[in-house]
A and B are shown apart, each in its own frame.
Chain A
Amino acid sequence: SSELTQDPAVSVALGQTVKITCQGDSLRYYYVSWYQQKPGQAPVLVIYGKTNRPSGIPDRFSGSGSGSTASLTITGAQAEDEADYYCQSRDRTSNQRVAFGGGTKLTVL
């Protein structure tokens, strides 16, 4: 079972702001990363080190968090943001293992 917990589904009206959360004890010790996955495609990194955006990722994506909770915020959601979002951190049992959240399906209305 996943060490990181996410809400299975979230919806947002076009142009509005949405926050996707991730909870887990490992987040007290390690920064979270976030991945976007569209149907039939590989995951794409959108946030790393809790708050950093890779080049090419729109600035409407931002990350935050404290304690055992991390959040991915999309400010002014666009239709193309509809996707599954996964949080990830290091697994607490091993410095090599990956822990993923169960994923959140974002629907843009």
Chain B
Amino acid sequence: QVQLVESGGGVVQPGGSLTLSCAASGFTFTSFPIHWVRQAPGKGLEWVAVMPTDGINTDYADSVKGRFTISRDTSKNTLYLHLNNLRPEDTAVYYCARVRGGSDWFLDLWGRGTRVSVSS
């Protein structure tokens, strides 16, 4: 079954750290760029980071650059998002999503999300 499954969310204090996982199945996940997208409570979708197919040229939203790191384990078909120095405004549901298409790419497959709550 082609799917993405996120895990690792939880409640953490400001300044704390967390690692989210995105497990891919049913497809070769290194063949597709995969993004992390988050959604704060009652808010819209916000792009967070991308793992390209080369595994090297990662990119981050300005709001998380220097605090979040994206990585992957190809042997486990799993993508990670390492969240450091967390702030209350990082509270959100975090989704991973697969890219399809050429120059006008789109996100065709989404996980169900994992919830992160940053609170003291």
Interface size class of B (residues with CB under 8 A): 20 to 34
Q: Is the CB of B105 within 8 A of A90?
A: yes
How far is A95 from B33 in the complex, measured between Cα atoms in Å?
Answer: 12
Indicate if the CB atoms of B104 and A90 lie closer than 8 Å.
yes
CA distance A88 to B72 in the complex (A): 25
Distance in Å from the Cβ of B57 to the closest Cβ of chain A?
7
Q: Which residues of A are interface residues toward B (Cβ below 8 A)?
A: 2, 30-31, 33, 35, 37, 41-45, 48-50, 54, 84, 86, 88-91, 94-103
A-B contacts counted at CB < 8 A amount to 71
| B50 beta carbon closer than 8 Å to chain A | yes
Contact B106 A96 (CB under 8 A): no
A54, B108: Cβ atoms under 8 Å? yes
B-chain residues with CB within 8 Å of residue A101 when the two chains form the complex: 44
Q: Are B44 and A102 in contact (CB under 8 A)?
A: yes
User: Which residue of chain A has its CB nearest to the CB of B57?
Assistant: A96
Q: Kindly report which residue of chain A lies nearest to residue B104, judged by CB atoms.
A: A31
Give the distance in Å from the alpha carbon of A43 to the alpha carbon of B37 in the complex: 10
Cα of A43 to Cα of B111 in the assembled complex, Å: 9
B101 interface contact, C-beta 8 A: yes
Cβ-defined partner of A49 (8 Å) among B45, B50, B106, B107: B106
Which interface residue of B35, B57, B104, B112 has the most chain A CB atoms within 10 A? B104
Q: How far is the CA of A75 from the CA of B33 in the complex (A)?
A: 33
Q: Which of B47, B106, B111 contacts A42 (CB 8 A)?
A: B111
A98 and B97 CA atoms in complex are apart in Å by 11
**B73 CB within 8 Å of chain A:** no
What 5 additional pairs, Cβ within 8 angstroms, besides A33-B106, A96-B52? A35-B45, A48-B106, A49-B104, A50-B104, A102-B44
- Partner among A48, A95, A102 whose Cβ is within 8 Å of the Cβ of B108: A48
| CB nearest neighbor in A for B60 | A97
